[in-house]
Amino acid sequence: MALSIAQGYEYVGNDHWKWWVWLQGTDAELDQVASVEYHLHPTFPKPVHRVTDRASNFRLDASGWGVFQLKAQIEMKDGAVVGLGHMLELAYPEDGDDEAPRQPAMRGDDEAPMPSRSVFLSAGTADSAVASALRADLIDRGFEVVSDDDIEPGMSWDIEIGNVLKRTDAMVAVTSDIPSTWVEREVHAAAQHGTKVIPVVVGDNPVVPKGLQTVQQIKVADASALGDAAASIIDALDA
């Protein structure tokens, strides 16, 4: 069997990259794979990801500021387990001069820049499109963004949400005119763990969870103003 890890990347500025990895092999080999568990550097807010999507060749999308040794544990349908490793490759765009190109930092290096900020993005189903756009904007700005979608099925929600909140700098709670019991529950969990919550309220008549009604809010008219919201989130984290 000749399975391997392939990757791609895109520089997004400010010493950060989007990158993605997937499992490479023949169709027959890939058809025998049940799941791939990717192990990232421990400085990531969520360092372990389990992917079961055969259609994407078990692709994982992420972002960050430095390179590291990625490991993957491949579970085959017959119960066998295969381990693979891959040194993440990133590069700055060519600038056309004759100087030696800069090299991305090694994650874990004492002289490496601090990890990018991480936020937990909370939104109800009705606000999923807005949340998706905000997530993409934050990632473009170098954030690592996690949500309850990153909690593995079958795991205790109360335990896992606590573990995630401990590793993030703040929760960004998106609300609009349609209330969400999930957002209220996640805001309550953030309060219990002492995690800062930044409300992003969308529209003219948003329903703001009770726990956020006295918190300074970032107000946007609609999804077209989310660029301003992302900038305001950065300001709120610095406050």
pLDDT value for 22: 97
Each residue's pLDDT tens digit, 165-211: 887 889 999 988 887 888 898 988 988 888 999 999 888 888 888 77
How much is the average pLDDT of 82-107? Answer: 77
Domain residues of the chain, as ranges? Answer: 4-94, 118-238
DSSP 66-135: EE-EEEEEEEETTS-EEEEEEE----PPP-SSSSPPP-PEETT-TTSPPPPPEEEEEE-GGGHHHHHHHH
Report the chain's C-alpha Rg in angstroms: 20
Q: 110 falls in which pLDDT band (50, 70, 90)? A: very low
DSSP 124: -
pLDDT for the residue numbered 24: 95
What fold characterizes domain 118-238?
Rossmann fold (3.40.50)
C-alpha 188/C-alpha 1 separation (Å) is 48
The CATH number of 4-94 is 2.60.40.1970
Q: What tens digit of pLDDT does each residue of 202-219 get?
A: 888 888 887 788 888 888
